[in-house]
Each structure stands twice: as structure tokens, then as C-alpha cells.
Amino acid sequence: MLASLSLMLMAVALGLGFTIGDLYATPPAAAAFVWRGRHMLTGVAAALAVVLVESIAVTYFVGTSRWCKEVTETYRLPADDLILSNRLKRRTFPWCVLGMLTVVGVGALGAASDPGTGRPNTASMASVHQLAALSGLLAVAWTYYRAWLNIAANQQVLERIVRQVERIRTERGLDGAPAAAQAG
């Protein structure tokens, strides 16, 4: 849901960027400044949403890999699932960082194309920013897809660990009914 929202915000910011008008005219139309402001605010919101989504994916893997380690050690499970969970975490981190750096790069190129900075030759950066924004949208969507695949694979690892723990707890009489039956 958040990933979809962040991609929609990126798409809206991209669309608003195309509707700004000519900021480089002398003098620029007042409406162009209004659309520029909306574009910038939407772009910042999109960038923050992307960083949030990527951070949630990173946090998920930090938490679940720690959980896998503790449960594997506590129940003396084979380390195979722990190793796989850590491998999935390490595969996901670069994708998340790439997504975050992508929105930073698109924003930086947007700033470089803003005539409000007073820098010369900002108009030459507008097409670069537009291309980066379009490819950035696709890149972020790809990073989400890669993270989603790894999260789904990690979820299967967690389910295997839970099944092993349930089996061990049942064998040892540590859950509900078997423990009560032994006490009576």
C-alpha cells in the first residue's frame, strides 16, 4: 500500500513537472511558479515516501534476521534457514539503498534545473531532470519488486522455522494440552 502510494506520488510529481510551463521565459508566467511549487512539494513528498518504504524493508530484514538467530540458537535448529535469511537480507539492502539514492539524485537534478536558484544554465538541466525522473520512477519500482521477492522468500524461511519450533515444543510438552495432561 505504501509502496503504491509512493509510486503514485512520483508519477504525480512527474506529471506536474510536465505541466509547469516555461520557467525560463523572461519574465516567467505567474502560473508557472504555482505549478513549480506544487511539483516541488509533491516531489519532496514522493522522495520521503520512497525513503520510508525502503526503510521499512530494511527494518523488516534487521528484525527478522535477529529473530531467526535467536530462535535458531534457543531451539538449537540447523543454521540453514538462518543463513538463508541473512543472505536474503544482504541481497535486499543494496536494492533499498539504490531506491533511496535514486530519489536523492532526481531531487538534486531538479534543484540543478531550477531557475529560482539564480545559477546560470539551469535550463540545460531540465531535460536531464525529466529523463532522470522518468527512469527514477522505473528504478524505484524495480527496487520495490526485488525487495518484495526477497521478503516473500524470507517469509517462507520464517514459516519453516515456526513449524520446527512448534514440532519441538509439542515433542517436549511445552504447549498447552500436552503439558496439562502430564501434570494431571
> Residues 67-118: pLDDT tens digits?
999 999 999 999 999 999 999 999 999 999 999 999 999 999 999 999 988 8
Contact 146, 92 (CB under 8 A): yes
Q: For residue 71, what pLDDT is reported?
A: 97
Q: For residue 176, what pLDDT is reported?
A: 67
Q: How many domains is the chain partitioned into structurally?
A: 1
pTM: 0.90
> Residues 124-141: pLDDT tens digits?
999 999 999 999 999 999
> Residues 22-35: pLDDT tens digits?
888 888 889 998 99
CA–CA dist 15, 129 (Å, integer): 13
Q: For residue 118, what pLDDT is reported?
A: 87
119 located within any domain: yes
CA–CA dist 85, 100 (Å, integer): 23
Domain of residue 58, residue span: 51-176
Per-residue exposure over 42-77, b if at least 16 CB sit within 10 Å of its own CB, e if not: bbebbbebbbebbeebbebbeebbeebeebbeeeeb
24 located within any domain: no
7 located within any domain: no
23 located within any domain: no
112 located within any domain: yes
98 located within any domain: yes
Please report, rounded to a whole number, the percentage of residues in the chain having pLDDT higher than 70: 95
In the structure, what pLDDT confidence band is assigned to residue 179 with cuts at 50, 70 and 90?
A: very low
In whole angstroms, what separates CA 63 from the centre of its chain? 16
12 located within any domain: no
CA–CA dist 133, 112 (Å, integer): 13
46 located within any domain: no
